[in-house]
Amino acid sequence: MLLLFTGIISMLCLPLSVVGAADVRDALIYKMEILIPPKEGRDETADIQQIKNTVADLKDIAVIFAFKELGSPKIVLVLEVEKACSWPQLTSFLSRKGYEYSVVPVSRCSDYAHELGVNLPDDLWTYSFEDENLTMVTKIHPVGDLTTTEYTERLKVTFEQDRAILKTGQKGACFRVLAEYPVKLVYIAPLSPTQIQAIEKVLYVRGIHEATRIENLASYTAVCQGD
């Protein structure tokens, strides 16, 4: 039994491509949210800086995105995990500090669009944002009384619209939350306040509203830009 357990652990520490996961690309990418609970005497700025430094030093975990929600002590990470046994270097740190966190597997929207038969090249999306007015929009596609075919067609139209928007020069990134139904897509894009209001209005009418202002974690200083 001990030998079996040791063998399983050894397999977990191999890259997923070696283990032979069914869909390596899907299995490697995760969206993590870290919340710093309020606590008397806690220095929120110092805590966020420590998270930023810890994330920067991760081994075998590539940080695709690292953001902080504006007005909230919450960090949002999109991570590509090369080895399953690399997680403890991050989760052990978070547990010791008493931070709350959640993790969901995601895939790139380009991969999902390809599954649906829509050509949405990954290089149309952006994977590096400057210190811009960034927004994270979660878009849930309700099923309603649609048939499977009709629902699939609606998703295909969504990605075709995304492709057209990206070709105009609009920057953005997109991930699909796996094992979620109805389908949930997470968009990240630099948007002006006017654009945000327009998007929120559309999403609210459709009952799928969730938009959050974020900033690059690398740019976080806790100094108000108006000072």
Please tell me what DSSP assigns to residue 70.
Answer: T
pLDDT at 55: 92
93 and 126 fall within a common domain: no
Mapping DSSP to helix (H, G, I), strand (E, B) and coil, where does residue 85 land? helix
Last residue of one domain, picked from the residues 59, 78, 107: 107
- Compute the chain's Rg from CA coordinates: 19
113 and 98 fall within a common domain: no
182 and 163 fall within a common domain: yes
With respect to residue 124, please indicate whether it lies within any of the assigned structural domains: yes
Residue 69 pLDDT > 80: yes
Last residue of one domain, picked from the residues 74, 107, 140: 107
Residue 9 pLDDT > 90: no
- Give the closest residue to 133 by CA, choosing from 201, 70, 187: 70
For the ranges 36-45, 73-82, 206-215, the lowest mean pLDDT is seen at 206-215
98 and 126 fall within a common domain: no
d(CA 3, CA 1): 5
Last residue of one domain, picked from the residues 78, 107, 136: 107
With respect to residue 128, please indicate whether it lies within any of the assigned structural domains: yes
Task: CATH number of the domain at 58, please.
Answer: 3.30.70.1060
With respect to residue 226, please indicate whether it lies within any of the assigned structural domains: no
| Omega before residue 182 within 30° of 0, cis | yes
103 and 113 fall within a common domain: no
- CB atoms under 10 Å from CB of 191, counted, come to 22
pTM across the whole model:
0.81
Name the one residue in this structure whose structure tokens are 């081994």. Answer: 59
With respect to residue 9, please indicate whether it lies within any of the assigned structural domains: no
102 and 165 fall within a common domain: no
- 219/24: higher pLDDT: 219
With respect to residue 4, please indicate whether it lies within any of the assigned structural domains: no
Residue 41 CB contacts under 8 Å (≥ 6 apart), including other chains: none
Indicate the average pLDDT of the chain.
Answer: 81
Q: What share of the chain has pLDDT > 90, as a percent?
A: 51
46 and 99 fall within a common domain: yes
Residue 222 pLDDT > 60: yes
pLDDT at 147: 94
- CB atoms under 10 Å from CB of 32, counted, come to 20
128 and 154 fall within a common domain: yes
210 and 116 fall within a common domain: yes
Q: pLDDT (tens digit, 9 = 90+) per residue, 105-139?
A: 999 999 999 999 999 999 999 999 887 789 998 98
173 and 138 fall within a common domain: yes
* 64 in Cβ contact with 127 (< 8 Å): yes
Residue 92 pLDDT > 70: yes
214 and 175 fall within a common domain: yes
pLDDT at 5: 27
* 219 in Cβ contact with 131 (< 8 Å): yes
With respect to residue 5, please indicate whether it lies within any of the assigned structural domains: no
d(CA 176, CA 207): 19
Domain carrying residue 83:
14-107
- Winning range, highest mean pLDDT, from 11-20, 58-67, 194-203: 58-67
136: its two tokens: 């994270």
How many folded domains does the chain comprise?
A: 2
Task: CATH number of the domain at 200, please.
Answer: 3.30.70
61 and 113 fall within a common domain: no
Please tell me what DSSP assigns to residue 1.
Answer: -
Q: pLDDT (tens digit, 9 = 90+) per residue, 155-211?
A: 999 899 899 989 988 899 999 999 888 999 999 999 877 776 666 565 554 546 678
